[in-house]
Amino acid sequence: MIDPEKILSSSDLLVKIETVCHRRFSAENDRDECYVYVIDSLKADNLKRLRAFKGKSSLNTYLYALINSLVIDFRRKQYGRRRIPAGVAKLGKWAETVYRFVCWQRFTFDDAYDFLRIDGLYTGSYIEFIKETEPIRKAPCRKNPAFQSIDEAHESSLKNIDDESSNPLEFLIQKLDRERRIKALKVIRETTAGLSEDDQLLIRLVYGSDQSVPAVAKVIGLAAPTAGKRLKNLMTIYREKLLAEGIREP
Amino acid sequence: MGKWMNKAISPSVVPESEDHILIEDLARLAEGAVDAADRQHLIGHLNRCQRCYQILQQTLTDVSAETTLQPGSAPWWRTGTFYALAASILLVLLIGGPLAIKHWNQRPPGILAVLDLDQGLKDILLEDDALRWEKKERVNRLLTALQQRGLAVKDLSLVLLSKPYYQKKSLFGPKEVLHIRIDNKVAYLEVKEMEN
């Protein structure tokens, strides 16, 4: 059995932690705090998290999964420490959600409006939204100094797709106007929810997270070509559902 | 990753499960090392648990990035793919060689090929809707494009297209391929749609 003490002191583990924290956070300070948090958590309770490794997977994958779980804990603790300004909170849940999207996750107000509409948290028009978010624009926001500008660019890892073959659904959605985009996203969400468990995960990982088809095929327990074929069939289902709702490429 | 799809189809956040998947089971799943019954249980959970889903997808990203960055564990000429390819070529030569020699001795060679209709080929097809291409410049552009795509064609004097080609506008339209037959410096082209 592998000695947890040796794993903890190995340069390989330290490089992994550094790499993962670097990938997940853009601010230097956050990266440093993340690194320290992961190391401390691994040391906690007499290295119980490293001792939990039973050798059923490779150590390499186990360490990445473990570090990622701790980074998620760290991020949640970090968000947990933050408070939504009282002036925003009193506007209601929708305003808190807007604040989270724009201030903490660095999306634009436009994105926040669309996300709220998809989730059914806001039903008003875009003009009403702009008016009602005035107090949010004036609220303090440590993480985003350019907070008051409606055109501010977010630095999220989520980006525009400019290659149809990499993600045809995202490519289509980008081309739609706001109302049809919101409608299309609702159709896609409902269609996904109606798929088998395997197909849901296949779609989520390939088109929601940009994982490669061979990597996801392994997770689902399929050969890569079979997963590719299944994806094509699923695209046909999405296309038909979108067409049935009158959504087509502009 | 695309923000819209990520937002639309992420697993639900509320209510999130308290009973998370063991880290080692997530690692096993990422490696495809679980049996069918375990897999069904784990996948069912992943579709409903944002946290476990995030750990899995980030682990897949990190493992894949590490594999990409690492120099190959074995030289290319020692990989299974190389041996498979070499064996295939040998078999083709053994079986097809005598037949091919006989065939070549009987008549001048023709070329039959099917190519993915990529943007470069589309641009040439869309220049105008003539079915008979005699303009040397256009014929040469096609010749160069075919050579760049690996076709051993040396010269073309005429190109005949079966029907005018128009760009498909549907996002999810079927894949198109170009069927090519070349005989006596004449290229016969036909665009066909592949079934999904």
Average pLDDT for A189-196: 94
Closest-CA residue to B21 (of B1, B2, B45, B40): B45
- Min distance B53 CA to chain A CA atoms (Å): 9
B94 touches chain A (CB under 8 A): no
pLDDT at B92 over 60: yes
Q: Which tens digit of pLDDT belongs to each residue from A151-185? A: 333 344 455 555 555 788 888 888 899 889 999 99
A72 touches chain B (CB under 8 A): yes
* Single-letter amino acid code for the residue at A144: N
Percent share of chain A, pLDDT over 70: 90
Q: Which residues of B touch A172 (CB under 8 A)?
A: 171
Please give the pLDDT value at position A152. 31
Residue at token pair 């198109």: B176
Write out the H or E segment, with its range, that includes residue A72. Answer: helix A59-81
User: Which tokens hold the place of B111?
Assistant: 């070329």
Within 8 A by CB and 6+ apart from B176, the residues are B116, B117, B168, B191, B192, B193, B194
- Min distance B79 CA to chain A CA atoms (Å): 18
Q: Which residues of A touch B26 (CB under 8 A)?
A: 65
User: Which tokens hold the place of A103?
Assistant: 């201030």
Query: Higher pLDDT residue, B171 or A233?
Result: A233
> For residues A112 and A96, what is the distance between their CA atoms, to the nearest angstrom?
11
Question: pLDDT-derived band of residue B29, with 50, 70 and 90 as boundaries?
Answer: very high
User: Using the beta-carbon criterion (under 8 Å), do B30 and A53 form an inter-chain contact?
Assistant: no
Please give the pLDDT value at position B187. 92
Q: Give SS3 for B38.
A: helix
Q: For chain B, how big is the Rg over CA atoms in Å?
A: 26
User: Which tokens hold the place of A228?
Assistant: 């590719």
pLDDT at A147 over 80: no
Question: pLDDT-derived band of residue B35, with 50, 70 and 90 as boundaries?
Answer: very high
Q: Are B24 and A56 in contact (CB under 8 A)?
A: yes
Report strand pairing: B158-161 vs B186-193: parallel
Write out the H or E segment, with its range, that includes residue B85. Answer: helix B80-106
Q: Which tens digit of pLDDT belongs to each residue from B142-158? A: 999 998 888 888 889 99
Q: Which residues of A touch B40 (CB under 8 A)?
A: 197
Indicate which of A13, A54, A57, A96 best probes the interface with B, i.e. most B CBs within 10 Å of its own CB.
Answer: A57
Q: Which tens digit of pLDDT belongs to each residue from B103-146? A: 666 655 678 888 888 888 888 888 877 889 888 888 999 999 99
Average pLDDT of every residue of chain A: 87
pLDDT at B61 over 90: yes
Q: Name which of B2, B40, B57 is nearest A170 (Cβ-Cβ).
A: B2
Average pLDDT for A104-121: 86
- Min distance A73 CA to chain B CA atoms (Å): 9
Report strand pairing: B176-183 vs B186-193: antiparallel
User: Which tokens hold the place of B177?
Assistant: 């391929």
User: Using the beta-carbon criterion (under 8 Å), do A192 and B62 form an inter-chain contact?
Assistant: no
User: Which range has the worst mean pLDDT, A26-35, B21-30, B61-70?
Assistant: B61-70
User: Using the beta-carbon criterion (under 8 Å), do A16 and B62 form an inter-chain contact?
Assistant: yes
- The ipTM of this complex is 0.85
Q: Name which of A56, A157, A238 is nearest B1 (Cβ-Cβ).
A: A157
Q: Are A207 and A234 in contact (CB under 8 A)?
A: no
- How many interface pairs between A and B have CB atoms less than 8 angstroms apart? 180
If contacts are CB pairs under 8 Å, which of residues 194-223 in chain A contact chain B? Answer: 197-198, 200-201, 203-205, 207-212, 215-216, 218-221
Q: Name which of B11, B24, B44 is nearest A204 (Cβ-Cβ).
A: B11
Please give the pLDDT value at position B4. 79
> For residues A86 and A96, what is the distance between their CA atoms, to the nearest angstrom?
10
Average pLDDT for A95-107: 86
Write out the H or E segment, with its range, that includes residue B179. Answer: strand B176-183
Alpha-carbon distance values, B135 to A38, A78, B178, B179 (Å): 68, 68, 20, 21
Please give the pLDDT value at position B193. 83
Residue at token pair 């498979």: B84
Closest-CA residue to B6 (of A19, A188, A246): A188
Greatest mean pLDDT among A147-161, B11-25, B46-60: B46-60
Q: Is B109 exposed, middle or buried (0-12, 13-18, 19+ CB in 10 A)?
A: exposed
If contacts are CB pairs under 8 Å, which of residues 18-57 in chain B contact chain A? Answer: 22-34, 36, 39-40, 43-44, 46-47, 51, 53-57
A134 touches chain B (CB under 8 A): no
Beta strands in chain A (DSSP E): none
* Single-letter amino acid code for the residue at B65: A
pLDDT at B173 over 90: no
CA B52 to chain centre: 32
* Single-letter amino acid code for the residue at A202: L
Q: Name which of B6, B30, B33 is nearest A209 (Cβ-Cβ).
A: B6
Q: What is the DSSP letter of B158?
A: E
Alpha-carbon distance values, B43 to A221, B27, B30, B39, B63 (Å): 11, 13, 11, 6, 19
Beta strands in B28-142 (DSSP E): 111-116, 132-133
pTM: 0.66
> For residues A199 and A203, what is the distance between their CA atoms, to the nearest angstrom?
6
Q: Which residues of B touch A192 (CB under 8 A)?
A: 8-9
Question: pLDDT-derived band of residue A220, with 50, 70 and 90 as boundaries?
Answer: very high
Average pLDDT for A62-83: 89
